[in-house]
Structure 1
Amino acid sequence: MAMNAPAAQPAPWRKRLATVFSGPIIRKSVIAAVLVGSLLILLNQGDLLFSGQITGRVLIKSLITPLIPFCVTMIGAFLNSGSSTRAEDLRPGWAAVRRSLIIAVIVSSVIVIVNQGDLILSGNVSPRTWLKIGITPIVPFCVSLYGAYLAYRNALAAQPPA
């Protein structure tokens, strides 16, 4: 029994990728990478940079750090760019907050391992380091939620005027 194949439409994930890799979202993700990456560098490496203790390790950590908010913004936009045709359905809500919390736990763990892993393993953790570790999850949470907001704004901009 032959069935008529439906019209070839891109897979939902391909459509989501195309949406996320559009110019406006990439531009805003780069802005988030520069701003939030600078904040993370100041938070995690600022004391070493300002005291003049710049080593190869500090330089590499400082160069890698902006990639984290860029990737988190893109992931947040991808996860919140569902296949709905209505922008109202994409409005960030509790589901976006929950996804952002999960992303924050995973990403902040990576950030802490990259920036404070050597101190943790050596057992030389100062109160300042504990403060840095405690503040770190706030950054990926906010960046991920910003990515969800970007997906929503992109969907609003793509709607025809009413």
Structure 2
Amino acid sequence: MIPLISPLIFRPSVMRRAAIMAAIVGCMIAVINHGNHIWAGTMSPVGWIKVGVTFLVPYTVSTISSVLALQEQGRLIAALREPTKDQTPAAPGSDLQNT
């Protein structure tokens, strides 16, 4: 289950990656959706607001993806640290060699 808001969204690496993705993908989407009005200089204030919101979409997608990947990584690391049923804890001193 994914918590509604994870503190991982504020991790600098997550925020930096999301900002880079938003800049790249947001520019592409803005040009595709509004390029003709931008080039013609006929953008309305509402159009510029829409362009701004356009950048939030890739930022959000990148953030969610990064948080899910970090959570999965944490689960995998925790699973690797847990002993399996086949592994029994060694008895104290069993690592000493008899000489």
Q: TM-score, normalised by structure 1?
A: 0.40
2:40 pairs with 1:51: yes
RMSD: 2.6
Distance 2:51 2:27 in 1: 9
Distance 1:19 1:56 in 2: 34
Q: What is residue 79 of structure 1 aligned with on the other side?
A: 68
**CA 1:57/1:19 → structure 2, altered by over 3 Å: closer, same or farther?**
closer
Which protein is richer in helix relative to its size? Answer: 1
Q: 1:23, CA displacement in angstroms?
A: 0.8
Q: 1:60, CA displacement in angstroms?
A: 1.1
Gaps of 5+ in 1: 1-11, 87-162
Q: What is residue 55 of structure 2 aligned with on the other side?
A: 66
Q: What is residue 124 of structure 1 aligned with on the other side?
A: none
Higher-Rg structure is 2
**CA 1:13/1:50 → structure 2, altered by over 3 Å: closer, same or farther?**
same
Distance 1:20 1:65 in 2: 19
Q: What is residue 18 of structure 1 aligned with on the other side?
A: 7
Distance 2:7 2:21 in 1: 20
Q: 1:17, CA displacement in angstroms?
A: 2.3
Identity rate of aligned residues, in percent? 23
Distance 1:21 1:36 in 2: 21
Distance 2:34 2:3 in 1: 37
Distance 1:13 1:58 in 2: 33
Q: 1:56, CA displacement in angstroms?
A: 1.7
